[in-house]
């Protein structure tokens, strides 16, 4: 487990601040499967509209070994709170080569689970 504390802001971090708090929990199962859960709360998620609202989402992910150095992975982030909209998801393939890891990812958004303000922002 590890904690997440962040603040995002627009206009060179001058306005529309979005603080976030969360935790990340992970579990590895027999060196073949890893699962992740990250419940995160973001304050001021409608800042661009001048509305003070909160959004909560849980990022869920998994990675499974399909060969000695090749993995498939997936992520989904259902949201509740201000204008939840469409659920973000992504999937990909990961290849380890020596000390390097290469990923090819596909998803329905440019944001990822770690980009908290991007996932909850309403334009």
* pLDDT digits 0-9 by tens, 26-66: 999 998 999 999 998 888 777 667 777 888 888 899 999 99
- pLDDT reported for residue 70: 96
- pLDDT reported for residue 117: 53
Please report the DSSP string for 44-74 in residue order.
-TTGGGT---EEEEEEEEEEEEEETTEEEEE
Q: Which domain holds residue 94?
A: 2-120
Phi, psi of 13 (to 5 degrees): 60, 40
Number of domains comprising the chain: 1
Encoding tokens for residue 70? 């090749």
């Amino acid at each position: 487990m590890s904690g997440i504390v962040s603040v995002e802001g627009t206009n060179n971090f001058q306005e529309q601040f979005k603080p976030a708090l969360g935790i990340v929990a992970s579990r590895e199962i027999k060196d073949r499967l890893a699962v992740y859960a990250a419940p995160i709360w973001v304050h001021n998620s409608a800042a661009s509209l001048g509305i003070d609202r909160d959004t909560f989402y849980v990022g869920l992910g998994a990675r499974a070994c399909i060969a000695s150095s090749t993995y498939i992975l997936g992520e989904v982030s259902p949201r509740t709170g201000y204008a939840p909209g469409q659920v973000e998801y992504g999937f990909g393939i990961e290849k380890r080569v020596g000390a390097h890891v290469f990923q090819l990812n596909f998803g329905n958004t440019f944001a990822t689970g770690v980009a908290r303000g991007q996932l909850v922002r309403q334009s």
